[in-house]
Amino acid sequence: MQDRGNLRQATGASADSFPDELMQSIRAFQDSRVILTGIELDVFTAIGAGATALDVARSRSTDVRGTEMLLNALVALGLLEKTGAAFRNSQAAAQFLAGDSPRCARTALLHTVHLWDRWSTLTECVRTGTAVLQDEIKDRGEAWTEAFIAAMDRNARERAPAVVRAVGAEGVRTMLDVGGGSAAYSISFAEAAPGLEAVVLDLPGVVPIAQGHVERAGLDGRVRIRAGDLRTDPLGRQDYELVLVSAICHMLGPAENRDLIARSFSALKPGGRIAIQDFILEPDKTSPRQAAMFSLNMLVGTEAGASYSVDEYTGWLEGAGFHKVARISLPGPADLMVGEKPASP
Protein backbone atom coordinates (compact mmCIF):
# COMPACT_ATOMS: atom_id res chain seq x y z
CA MET A 1 0.00 0.00 0.00
CA GLN A 2 1.33 3.44 -0.91
CA ASP A 3 1.77 5.91 1.91
CA ARG A 4 0.26 9.37 1.57
CA GLY A 5 3.47 10.93 0.30
CA ASN A 6 3.87 8.31 -2.44
CA LEU A 7 0.18 8.66 -3.31
CA ARG A 8 0.65 12.38 -3.81
CA GLN A 9 3.57 11.68 -6.16
CA ALA A 10 1.57 9.08 -8.07
CA THR A 11 -1.34 11.46 -8.58
CA GLY A 12 0.85 14.45 -9.32
CA ALA A 13 -0.24 16.20 -6.12
CA SER A 14 2.44 17.94 -4.09
CA ALA A 15 2.78 17.95 -0.35
CA ASP A 16 1.62 21.59 -0.50
CA SER A 17 -1.64 20.80 -2.34
CA PHE A 18 -4.77 22.17 -0.73
CA PRO A 19 -6.31 19.34 1.35
CA ASP A 20 -9.37 17.78 -0.27
CA GLU A 21 -10.98 17.20 3.13
CA LEU A 22 -10.66 20.88 4.01
CA MET A 23 -12.17 21.95 0.69
CA GLN A 24 -15.08 19.56 1.24
CA SER A 25 -15.73 21.15 4.62
CA ILE A 26 -15.55 24.65 3.15
CA ARG A 27 -18.09 23.76 0.46
CA ALA A 28 -20.34 21.66 2.70
CA PHE A 29 -22.93 24.46 2.73
CA GLN A 30 -23.73 23.68 -0.90
CA ASP A 31 -25.01 20.18 -0.13
CA SER A 32 -26.97 21.54 2.81
CA ARG A 33 -28.56 24.30 0.73
CA VAL A 34 -29.68 21.87 -1.97
CA ILE A 35 -31.46 19.68 0.59
CA LEU A 36 -32.95 22.66 2.44
CA THR A 37 -34.36 24.06 -0.80
CA GLY A 38 -35.87 20.67 -1.58
CA ILE A 39 -37.50 20.68 1.86
CA GLU A 40 -38.62 24.30 1.58
CA LEU A 41 -40.25 23.73 -1.84
CA ASP A 42 -41.61 20.34 -0.65
CA VAL A 43 -40.42 18.63 -3.84
CA PHE A 44 -40.34 15.22 -2.15
CA THR A 45 -44.10 15.34 -1.61
CA ALA A 46 -44.58 16.58 -5.16
CA ILE A 47 -42.59 13.65 -6.55
CA GLY A 48 -44.68 11.12 -4.63
CA ALA A 49 -44.59 7.77 -6.42
CA GLY A 50 -42.75 9.37 -9.36
CA ALA A 51 -42.77 12.61 -11.36
CA THR A 52 -40.88 14.53 -14.01
CA ALA A 53 -39.25 17.90 -13.47
CA LEU A 54 -42.15 19.44 -15.41
CA ASP A 55 -44.67 17.80 -13.06
CA VAL A 56 -42.84 19.08 -10.00
CA ALA A 57 -42.41 22.58 -11.44
CA ARG A 58 -46.12 22.83 -12.21
CA SER A 59 -47.16 21.67 -8.74
CA ARG A 60 -44.70 23.99 -6.99
CA SER A 61 -44.95 27.00 -9.32
CA THR A 62 -41.23 26.91 -10.04
CA ASP A 63 -39.16 27.22 -13.21
CA VAL A 64 -38.77 23.93 -15.11
CA ARG A 65 -35.06 24.41 -15.83
CA GLY A 66 -34.23 25.36 -12.26
CA THR A 67 -36.37 22.54 -10.90
CA GLU A 68 -34.66 19.92 -13.07
CA MET A 69 -31.24 21.15 -11.99
CA LEU A 70 -32.27 20.93 -8.34
CA LEU A 71 -33.70 17.43 -8.78
CA ASN A 72 -30.56 16.26 -10.57
CA ALA A 73 -28.46 17.56 -7.68
CA LEU A 74 -30.70 15.70 -5.21
CA VAL A 75 -30.06 12.54 -7.23
CA ALA A 76 -26.33 13.19 -6.94
CA LEU A 77 -26.76 13.52 -3.16
CA GLY A 78 -28.63 10.23 -2.96
CA LEU A 79 -32.04 11.59 -1.95
CA LEU A 80 -33.67 10.97 -5.34
CA GLU A 81 -33.38 8.33 -8.06
CA LYS A 82 -33.77 9.01 -11.77
CA THR A 83 -34.89 6.80 -14.64
CA GLY A 84 -35.17 8.57 -17.97
CA ALA A 85 -37.01 11.80 -17.22
CA ALA A 86 -38.75 10.43 -14.13
CA PHE A 87 -37.61 11.07 -10.57
CA ARG A 88 -38.42 8.95 -7.53
CA ASN A 89 -37.76 9.43 -3.85
CA SER A 90 -35.04 7.39 -2.19
CA GLN A 91 -36.12 5.28 0.77
CA ALA A 92 -34.95 7.94 3.23
CA ALA A 93 -36.68 10.77 1.36
CA ALA A 94 -39.93 8.80 1.06
CA GLN A 95 -39.86 7.98 4.77
CA PHE A 96 -38.83 11.31 6.27
CA LEU A 97 -39.35 14.08 3.70
CA ALA A 98 -42.51 13.20 1.75
CA GLY A 99 -45.74 14.54 3.17
CA ASP A 100 -47.73 11.33 2.76
CA SER A 101 -45.43 9.41 5.11
CA PRO A 102 -46.49 9.02 8.77
CA ARG A 103 -42.86 9.66 9.75
CA CYS A 104 -42.49 12.82 7.65
CA ALA A 105 -40.27 15.32 9.49
CA ARG A 106 -40.65 18.22 7.06
CA THR A 107 -42.38 20.59 9.50
CA ALA A 108 -39.63 20.06 12.06
CA LEU A 109 -36.91 20.43 9.43
CA LEU A 110 -38.32 23.78 8.34
CA HIS A 111 -36.78 25.10 11.54
CA THR A 112 -33.37 24.33 10.01
CA VAL A 113 -34.48 26.11 6.83
CA HIS A 114 -35.26 29.16 8.98
CA LEU A 115 -31.77 29.05 10.50
CA TRP A 116 -30.16 29.68 7.10
CA ASP A 117 -30.61 33.47 7.11
CA ARG A 118 -29.31 33.78 10.65
CA TRP A 119 -26.20 31.68 10.03
CA SER A 120 -25.40 33.80 6.98
CA THR A 121 -24.89 36.71 9.41
CA LEU A 122 -22.24 34.88 11.47
CA THR A 123 -19.35 37.11 10.38
CA GLU A 124 -21.16 40.26 11.47
CA CYS A 125 -22.29 38.56 14.69
CA VAL A 126 -18.68 37.76 15.56
CA ARG A 127 -17.81 41.41 14.91
CA THR A 128 -20.59 42.70 17.16
CA GLY A 129 -20.81 39.90 19.73
CA THR A 130 -24.56 39.44 19.38
CA ALA A 131 -27.28 38.54 16.88
CA VAL A 132 -27.70 41.19 14.19
CA LEU A 133 -31.21 40.01 13.30
CA GLN A 134 -32.83 41.14 16.53
CA ASP A 135 -36.36 39.88 17.06
CA GLU A 136 -37.97 38.14 19.98
CA ILE A 137 -39.12 34.53 19.64
CA LYS A 138 -42.68 35.61 20.38
CA ASP A 139 -42.53 37.99 17.39
CA ARG A 140 -41.25 35.52 14.76
CA GLY A 141 -44.67 34.50 13.46
CA GLU A 142 -46.88 31.46 13.46
CA ALA A 143 -44.96 29.55 10.76
CA TRP A 144 -41.67 29.94 12.63
CA THR A 145 -43.26 28.91 15.93
CA GLU A 146 -44.90 25.83 14.41
CA ALA A 147 -41.63 24.68 12.84
CA PHE A 148 -39.61 25.41 15.98
CA ILE A 149 -41.97 23.53 18.30
CA ALA A 150 -42.18 20.63 15.83
CA ALA A 151 -38.38 20.39 15.78
CA MET A 152 -38.20 20.54 19.57
CA ASP A 153 -40.98 17.96 19.93
CA ARG A 154 -39.27 15.50 17.62
CA ASN A 155 -36.08 15.75 19.65
CA ALA A 156 -37.89 15.68 23.00
CA ARG A 157 -39.94 12.58 22.24
CA GLU A 158 -36.75 10.70 21.38
CA ARG A 159 -34.91 11.88 24.51
CA ALA A 160 -37.73 11.93 27.07
CA PRO A 161 -37.50 8.27 28.19
CA ALA A 162 -33.79 8.65 28.97
CA VAL A 163 -34.41 11.91 30.84
CA VAL A 164 -37.20 10.37 32.93
CA ARG A 165 -34.98 7.41 33.82
CA ALA A 166 -32.04 9.63 34.74
CA VAL A 167 -34.05 12.13 36.82
CA GLY A 168 -36.52 9.64 38.27
CA ALA A 169 -40.26 10.22 38.63
CA GLU A 170 -40.83 8.15 41.76
CA GLY A 171 -42.30 10.27 44.54
CA VAL A 172 -42.79 13.30 42.27
CA ARG A 173 -46.36 14.56 42.52
CA THR A 174 -45.94 18.11 41.18
CA MET A 175 -43.68 19.24 38.37
CA LEU A 176 -43.03 22.51 36.53
CA ASP A 177 -41.80 22.24 32.94
CA VAL A 178 -40.23 25.63 32.18
CA GLY A 179 -40.51 26.54 28.50
CA GLY A 180 -41.90 23.05 27.94
CA GLY A 181 -42.93 23.59 24.30
CA SER A 182 -44.95 20.65 23.05
CA ALA A 183 -45.15 19.19 26.58
CA ALA A 184 -43.31 16.06 25.46
CA TYR A 185 -41.28 15.81 28.68
CA SER A 186 -44.27 16.47 30.94
CA ILE A 187 -46.24 13.83 29.07
CA SER A 188 -43.42 11.32 29.50
CA PHE A 189 -43.10 12.06 33.23
CA ALA A 190 -46.86 11.80 33.70
CA GLU A 191 -46.94 8.47 31.88
CA ALA A 192 -44.13 7.17 34.08
CA ALA A 193 -45.77 8.28 37.35
CA PRO A 194 -49.58 7.95 37.43
CA GLY A 195 -49.91 10.31 40.39
CA LEU A 196 -47.81 13.11 38.89
CA GLU A 197 -49.34 16.40 37.78
CA ALA A 198 -47.35 18.80 35.61
CA VAL A 199 -47.59 22.45 34.63
CA VAL A 200 -46.01 23.51 31.32
CA LEU A 201 -45.05 27.19 31.16
CA ASP A 202 -44.57 28.68 27.70
CA LEU A 203 -45.44 31.66 25.53
CA PRO A 204 -49.08 32.25 24.50
CA GLY A 205 -48.38 31.28 20.89
CA VAL A 206 -47.18 27.84 22.02
CA VAL A 207 -50.15 27.09 24.28
CA PRO A 208 -52.56 25.72 21.62
CA ILE A 209 -49.82 23.52 20.14
CA ALA A 210 -48.93 22.07 23.54
CA GLN A 211 -52.59 21.63 24.45
CA GLY A 212 -53.12 19.57 21.30
CA HIS A 213 -50.26 17.24 22.21
CA VAL A 214 -51.58 16.82 25.77
CA GLU A 215 -55.10 16.02 24.58
CA ARG A 216 -53.85 13.46 22.07
CA ALA A 217 -51.93 11.81 24.90
CA GLY A 218 -55.10 11.65 26.98
CA LEU A 219 -53.51 13.66 29.81
CA ASP A 220 -55.43 16.94 29.72
CA GLY A 221 -56.50 16.36 33.33
CA ARG A 222 -52.94 15.96 34.61
CA VAL A 223 -50.79 18.15 32.38
CA ARG A 224 -51.86 21.81 32.37
CA ILE A 225 -50.54 24.48 30.02
CA ARG A 226 -49.89 27.92 31.45
CA ALA A 227 -49.14 30.96 29.30
CA GLY A 228 -46.25 33.03 30.55
CA ASP A 229 -42.74 34.37 29.98
CA LEU A 230 -40.04 32.33 31.69
CA ARG A 231 -37.77 35.39 31.71
CA THR A 232 -40.01 37.52 33.90
CA ASP A 233 -43.01 35.67 35.31
CA PRO A 234 -43.04 34.19 38.83
CA LEU A 235 -42.61 30.42 38.71
CA GLY A 236 -44.24 29.69 42.05
CA ARG A 237 -43.52 29.57 45.77
CA GLN A 238 -42.68 26.11 47.12
CA ASP A 239 -45.25 24.57 44.76
CA TYR A 240 -43.24 21.82 43.04
CA GLU A 241 -41.13 18.79 43.79
CA LEU A 242 -39.41 18.93 40.39
CA VAL A 243 -38.55 21.81 38.07
CA LEU A 244 -37.42 20.80 34.59
CA VAL A 245 -35.55 23.35 32.48
CA SER A 246 -34.89 21.67 29.14
CA ALA A 247 -33.23 23.42 26.18
CA ILE A 248 -33.77 26.83 27.74
CA CYS A 249 -30.54 28.05 29.33
CA HIS A 250 -28.70 28.25 26.01
CA MET A 251 -31.18 30.95 24.89
CA LEU A 252 -30.35 33.18 27.85
CA GLY A 253 -27.38 35.19 29.02
CA PRO A 254 -25.54 34.39 32.28
CA ALA A 255 -27.47 36.95 34.35
CA GLU A 256 -30.79 35.64 33.02
CA ASN A 257 -29.80 32.07 33.88
CA ARG A 258 -28.83 33.02 37.41
CA ASP A 259 -32.23 34.70 37.80
CA LEU A 260 -34.14 31.74 36.30
CA ILE A 261 -32.35 29.25 38.53
CA ALA A 262 -33.01 31.42 41.60
CA ARG A 263 -36.73 31.61 40.75
CA SER A 264 -36.74 27.84 40.20
CA PHE A 265 -35.26 27.42 43.68
CA SER A 266 -38.11 29.49 45.13
CA ALA A 267 -40.69 27.44 43.21
CA LEU A 268 -39.46 24.16 44.71
CA LYS A 269 -40.61 22.62 47.95
CA PRO A 270 -37.83 21.83 50.46
CA GLY A 271 -36.14 18.68 49.23
CA GLY A 272 -37.30 19.35 45.67
CA ARG A 273 -35.01 19.02 42.68
CA ILE A 274 -34.08 20.94 39.57
CA ALA A 275 -33.05 19.20 36.35
CA ILE A 276 -31.46 21.24 33.58
CA GLN A 277 -31.01 19.54 30.22
CA ASP A 278 -28.80 21.33 27.72
CA PHE A 279 -25.59 21.29 25.71
CA ILE A 280 -22.91 21.30 28.43
CA LEU A 281 -19.37 22.25 27.54
CA GLU A 282 -16.19 21.05 29.19
CA PRO A 283 -14.37 23.75 31.20
CA ASP A 284 -12.28 24.96 28.22
CA LYS A 285 -15.49 25.25 26.10
CA THR A 286 -14.03 23.51 23.03
CA SER A 287 -15.85 20.19 23.45
CA PRO A 288 -18.11 18.38 22.92
CA ARG A 289 -18.06 19.48 19.28
CA GLN A 290 -21.83 19.83 18.91
CA ALA A 291 -22.07 21.95 22.04
CA ALA A 292 -19.33 24.28 20.78
CA MET A 293 -21.04 24.58 17.39
CA PHE A 294 -24.41 25.16 19.02
CA SER A 295 -22.96 28.08 20.93
CA LEU A 296 -22.54 29.82 17.56
CA ASN A 297 -26.16 28.97 16.77
CA MET A 298 -27.07 31.04 19.80
CA LEU A 299 -24.70 33.82 18.79
CA VAL A 300 -26.52 34.28 15.49
CA GLY A 301 -29.99 33.73 16.94
CA THR A 302 -30.13 35.42 20.36
CA GLU A 303 -29.00 38.55 22.12
CA ALA A 304 -26.85 36.86 24.75
CA GLY A 305 -27.36 33.08 24.56
CA ALA A 306 -24.60 30.46 24.36
CA SER A 307 -23.67 26.95 25.35
CA TYR A 308 -22.32 26.95 28.90
CA SER A 309 -19.75 24.89 30.75
CA VAL A 310 -20.25 22.45 33.60
CA ASP A 311 -18.41 24.91 35.86
CA GLU A 312 -20.80 27.73 34.98
CA TYR A 313 -23.88 25.60 35.68
CA THR A 314 -22.38 24.40 38.95
CA GLY A 315 -21.70 27.96 40.04
CA TRP A 316 -25.21 29.14 39.19
CA LEU A 317 -26.89 26.23 40.96
CA GLU A 318 -24.79 26.44 44.11
CA GLY A 319 -25.15 30.22 44.12
CA ALA A 320 -28.94 29.84 44.16
CA GLY A 321 -28.74 27.54 47.17
CA PHE A 322 -28.86 24.09 45.59
CA HIS A 323 -26.68 21.29 46.94
CA LYS A 324 -25.83 17.82 45.69
CA VAL A 325 -25.15 19.43 42.31
CA ALA A 326 -24.07 16.91 39.70
CA ARG A 327 -23.77 16.35 35.98
CA ILE A 328 -25.52 13.30 34.55
CA SER A 329 -24.42 12.09 31.12
CA LEU A 330 -27.12 11.14 28.65
CA PRO A 331 -26.98 9.51 25.21
CA GLY A 332 -26.67 12.10 22.47
CA PRO A 333 -25.42 15.70 22.52
CA ALA A 334 -27.08 17.04 25.70
CA ASP A 335 -26.57 16.19 29.38
CA LEU A 336 -28.27 16.98 32.65
CA MET A 337 -27.27 19.23 35.52
CA VAL A 338 -29.20 18.41 38.67
CA GLY A 339 -29.42 19.92 42.13
CA GLU A 340 -31.50 19.55 45.26
CA LYS A 341 -33.07 22.22 47.45
CA PRO A 342 -32.11 21.51 51.06
CA ALA A 343 -34.89 20.06 53.16
CA SER A 344 -36.29 22.12 56.02
CA PRO A 345 -34.38 21.73 59.29
CATH number at residue 333: 3.40.50.150
Is pLDDT of 223 > 60?
Answer: yes
Q: Is residue 120 part of a domain?
A: no
Please state, in angstroms and rounded to a whole number, the distance separating the CA atoms of residues 325 and 169.
18
210 in the same domain as 148? yes
**Average pLDDT over every residue of 53-73:** 98
Domain presence at residue 121: no
Work out the average pLDDT over 268-297: 97
Q: 301 and 195 in one domain?
A: yes
Instruction: Answer whether residue 168 shows pLDDT above 70.
Output: yes
171/210 same-domain check: yes
Range of the structural domain that residue 48 is part of: 4-104
- If asked whether residues 139 and 96 sit together in one domain, one would say no
Residue 2 in this model has a pLDDT that exceeds 50: no
Q: Using one digit for the tens of pLDDT, what is the confidence trace for 257-267?
A: 999 999 999 99
Using 50, 70 and 90 to split pLDDT, how confident is the model at 135?
low
Average pLDDT, the chain: 93
Task: Judge whether 286 lies within some domain.
Answer: yes
**pLDDT band, residue 143 (cuts 50/70/90):** confident
184 with 238, same domain: the answer is yes
Identify whether 151 is part of a domain: yes
Residues 47 and 169 both lie in one domain: no
Nearest 10 degrees: CA dihedral of 140, 142, 148, 154? 170
According to the 3-state scheme, what is the secondary structure of 126-158?
HHHCCCCCCCCHHHCCHHHHHHHHHHHHHHHHH
Please indicate, yes or no, if residue 67 is contained in any of the structural domains. yes
Contact 197, 175 (CB under 8 A): yes
Domain match, 85 and 142 both: no
34-51 average pLDDT score? 98
Query: Could you tell me which residues come within 8 angstroms of residue 167 by beta carbon, excluding any fewer than 6 positions away?
Result: 242, 244, 273, 275, 336, 338
The answer to whether position 114 is within a domain reads: no
Of 308, 189, 338, 292, nearest in space to 248 by CA: 308
Residue 274 pLDDT > 70: yes
Do 58 and 164 lie in one domain? The reply is no
Mean of pLDDT values over 309-319: 98
Q: Is residue 270 classed as helix, strand or coil in its secondary structure? A: strand
What's the number of domains the chain is made of?
2
Average pLDDT for 315-342: 97
Average pLDDT over residues 47-68: 98
Q: What pLDDT sits at residue 188?
A: 97
pLDDT of residue 145: 85
> For the segment 170-190, what is each residue's pLDDT rounded down to a tens digit?
999 999 999 999 999 999 999
Inform me whether the pLDDT recorded for 12 exceeds 80.
no
Q: What is the CATH number of the domain that holds 32?
A: 1.10.10.10
Helix (H) or strand (E) holding 34: helix 28-41
Q: Give the model's pLDDT for residue 140.
A: 66
Q: Are residues 176 and 51 in the same domain?
A: no
Which pLDDT score, from 0 to 100, does residue 239 have? 94
